[in-house]
Chains A and B, each alone.
Chain A
């Protein structure tokens, strides 16, 4: 493995297309979830054991619709993209169709996420 690779932002010019976008979003959504889940567990612990204001504040932030929409994006994208990776690793013959499968993945993701985000925004706007 070439480990001397501090490419920085130059990597953005690499034209990897759909699969590269999926790879980037997979990492990004994974990090979002690590931060969210880690912080949420700690905040819940502080709230539950010490009744801490910091924990309560953090959990109230986590419950806001803005955070939920981002976290749901991360969860759903990571799940669907991860499912694709598991499938392709289990049956490597499918790698031939990797671009098509990546399109199919967006075809599943967009309606599911769109509907959920719509419901979230609607109930947030109606104050529910």
Chain B
């Protein structure tokens, strides 16, 4: 395998996804910093372990952890602001990841029917995970 060269600038799918990868990376940095600062502010300093801080950093969902052992986990986390934050993280994270998966897969494929098949499959997977994720956020 070889590394890909940067796609030519223009209104093409490859270039747009190249730009999106960078933008979503920076967005995830910002969201993660907000998440980790809030986690410490809302009690992670004294009440929890590293794994839970990691969970709260990237997905501050009060309901998605089996046994965080945190009393009053919903205080401060269960409101519309954090639901919007979770959806942003979900969108940027899943889209960034699925595009990365597409890049890795397509580096191994030529311009064949297999590429079209994988593109469709990854697109459906992306849509499915996104919908399921939003459902989990709204229902918790």
Seen from chain A, the residues whose Cβ lies within 8 Å of a Cβ on chain B are: 1-7, 11, 23, 27, 30-31, 33-34, 37-38, 41-42, 44-45, 47-49, 56, 59-60, 63, 65, 68, 71-72, 75, 79, 82-83, 85-86, 89-90, 116, 119-120, 123, 128
How many pairs of A and B residues are in contact by the CB < 8 Å rule? 96
Q: Does B67 contact A (CB under 8 A)?
A: yes
Least Cβ–Cβ distance between A97 and chain B, in angstroms? 18
Chain A contact residues: over half helix, strand or loop, or mixed? helix
A48 to B104 CA separation, bound complex (whole angstroms): 32
Q: Does B6 contact A (CB under 8 A)?
A: yes
A-B contact pairs, 30 of them (CB 8 A): A1-B4, A3-B111, A27-B100, A30-B97, A30-B100, A30-B104, A31-B100, A34-B98, A38-B94, A38-B97, A44-B64, A45-B133, A48-B63, A48-B64, A48-B139, A49-B135, A59-B66, A60-B66, A63-B51, A63-B65, A63-B67, A71-B54, A75-B58, A79-B32, A83-B25, A119-B49, A120-B49, A120-B51, A123-B50, A128-B49
| Size bin of chain B's contact surface | 35 or more
